Structure 1
C-alpha cells in the first residue's frame, strides 16, 4: 500500500481507458465489445520491464498483491444487481450449480491437446481449469508455483488475462447469433470465475439484447460468484485428480513410457 508510484500509474491508466470508453464492432450478426479494462491491461503491459521499463519487478509484485482486492470491489458492484432478480436466479439455481461440471470439459479437451503439443507436467496446471486466481492458489499449495505445474497455470492465467476478454466477448456474440441458446443461459455460462471475462461476455450480450441488460448482468454475476465458491472444490475433488489420471494415460500413449511425477506432489 506504500507504493504510491503504482497507485498514480493506475489512476492515469484508468483515466485514459475510461476516456476511450467502450468500443463496439459488428461481427456478422453479433457484436464484439472492447471494454476499458482491456485498454488498461494493454497499456500496463507496455509499461513493464520488458518494454518501456516504467515499472520495475518490485512494482509488479506489489501490484500483484492487490489484484484480489480490486476484483472484490468489482464483484461487490455486481452483487448489487442480484437482489432485484433474485427470484429468477433461485429458479435457475440447479443450472448455476451444475454448470461447474463444465470444468471437466476443460480437462478432457485440454490435457490431450497439451500433451500432443509437447507439454509435460505443465499440462497439469494449464489444463485442470481456466486458471484464475483460486486455481493459482490451489496449484501453488499442492505443487508450488516454481515447478512445472506452476508454470502451466501461470501461463494460462496470463493468456486468459490478455486475450480472454476479447475471446469471451466474441464467443458470447457468436453463440447468441448462431445458436438457439437463450441469452440467460449464455450469461450464466460466462460466469467461469473470471470477473473480466464475465464482464466482456455480458457486455456483448447486453449490446445485442439491451432490454435484458439488468437480468443478464445479474445471472452473470451470480454464476461468477458460485464459480468462486464451489469451483475450487470441484477442481480439488474432481478436475485435478482427473487431470493427473488423463495426463498419465495420454503421456504413455504418446511417448510409450510412464509419466514422471512431480517433485512437489
Structure 2
C-alpha cells in the first residue's frame, strides 16, 4: 500500500474550497457611495486559513485528521507546481504582444518603474519592523501571481522571502481591492486625469483592476468610460507581460542589493532601540 504523502488530501481540500468559493460568489458593497467588489479568491483564502489544525482542527476532529502538519508542509510545493503553467502562459503571451507594448508609449512602458520605486521606502520599514529577509520578498514587487512563481522557484515559498511574498499577496488580495476602489475617486478629486488613473488601475491584478476601474468609471465623466476601460486593460496587459522580466532581472536583484546596504545599519538601530526599552523595563521592575 502506498504511503499517503499529503498531496491527495491537499488536492481534495483545494477542489472543495474552490467549489464553495465559486458558489458564494463575489462580495459587492459600497463605501461612502463608492462601489467595491471583492473577488471570490478572498473566500478561498479565508476557507483555506480556517481549515488549518490550529482553527477548525481544534473544534472538528475530522478536519484535524484530514489536514495535518504533513499537508501544511507539502502545500507550498504544490503551489509552486501550479505556478509553472502560469509562468509558461505569460511567456507565450509576451511574444505576440511585444509590438503592442512598444506602441503604447513610454508612459505605459515605464510605469513598472513605479512598482520598483516603492521598494525604496517599504524595504527599510520592513527591516525596521523586524521582518528581515521577508522584507525582500514582500517589497520587491506588488507580489501577484508572477512574483509567487519567481520567489517560489528561486528561494521556495517556505523561505523567509517566500513568506514575505505570500504575506503581501494575501494582504493585497484582501485589502487591495478596497484601497484601489477608494483611491480612484480621490485621485479625480485632487485633479489627476482619468486616463492617468486608468493606467494606474492596471497593475497586474484582475481583482484590483476591476475594483479600481469600476469605481473610476462611476466617478468620472461618462464620456471617459470606454477610454478608461481601454487604458486600464492595456496597462494591465503590459504589466503582466513586462512585470515578469522586470521583477526577475531588475526588481529582485535590486532588492537584494538594497537589503545588503540598508539592513545592517537599520538592524543596529533597532537593537539599540529595543535594548533601551528592555533596560527601562528592568529599571521599573527593580
TM-score by length of 1: 0.73
Q: Report which of the two structures shows the higher radius of gyration computed on alpha carbons.
A: 2
Unaligned runs of 5+ in 2: 1-7, 58-62, 87-99, 270-286
Separation (CA, whole Å) in 1 of partners of 2:15 and 2:153 = 30
Unaligned runs of 5+ in 1: 71-86, 258-265
Structure 2 match to 1:134: 146
Structure 1 match to 2:47: 44
Figure out how many residues of one structure are paired with residues of the other and give that number.
235
Structure 1 match to 2:125: 113
Instruction: Check 1:4–1:235 CA distance in 2 against 1; reply closer, same or farther (3 A cut).
Output: closer
Structure 2 match to 1:193: 204
Separation (CA, whole Å) in 2 of partners of 1:41 and 1:170 = 24
Deviation, structure 1 residue 135: 0.8
Q: How does 1:212-231 map to 2 (within 5 A)?
A: 212-231=224-243
TM-score by length of 2: 0.68
Deviation, structure 1 residue 43: 5.9
Instruction: Check 1:172–1:25 CA distance in 2 against 1; reply closer, same or farther (3 A cut).
Output: same
Separation (CA, whole Å) in 2 of partners of 1:169 and 1:127 = 22
Separation (CA, whole Å) in 1 of partners of 2:18 and 2:104 = 38
Which shows bigger deviation, 210-219 or 40-49?
A: 40-49
Instruction: Check 1:182–1:48 CA distance in 2 against 1; reply closer, same or farther (3 A cut).
Output: farther
Contact 2:17/2:48 (CA < 8 Å) preserved in 1? no
Deviation, structure 1 residue 56: 4.4
From 244, 267, 270, the counterpart of 1:232? 244
Separation (CA, whole Å) in 2 of partners of 1:199 and 1:175 = 17
Deviation, structure 1 residue 149: 1.1
From 214, 217, 227, the counterpart of 1:206? 217
From 230, 233, 258, the counterpart of 1:246? 258
What CA RMSD, in Å, does the superposition of the two structures yield over aligned residues? 3.5
Q: Which has the higher contact order (CA 8 A, sep 6+)?
A: 1
